[in-house]
Amino acid sequence: MDNGFQINKNSLLIKDTTREQREKYIKTTYHCIADCDNCGMCKIFHGKQPEIVFADYIEGICELADIASEYKR
């Protein structure tokens, strides 16, 4: 799928991406589809916007997988 930006397809790690790539990845991967019954993203993230949930990843502080694992509980 072409989502309009280049990113290392093998890695989403902070060391392999720029801040801009991480931000674009979160915005394109976790965008609102305005269909809450079929999505569930708001429920998973407890009503928080994905940009807020993954802010530490975007800023290069914490890896994506670490943050995502917090919401699997």
In a domain, 24, yes or no: yes
In a domain, 58, yes or no: yes
Average pLDDT, the chain: 86
Residue range(s) defining the domain that contains residue 38: 19-70
In a domain, 10, yes or no: no
In a domain, 5, yes or no: no
The model's pTM is: 0.80
Which of 14, 47, 11, 21 is closest to 32 using CA atoms? 47
Please give the tally of structural domains in the chain: 1
44 DSSP 8-state letter: H
In a domain, 9, yes or no: no
In a domain, 8, yes or no: no
Is the predicted pLDDT of residue 1 greater than 50, yes or no?
no
In a domain, 12, yes or no: no
Is the predicted pLDDT of residue 9 greater than 90, yes or no?
no
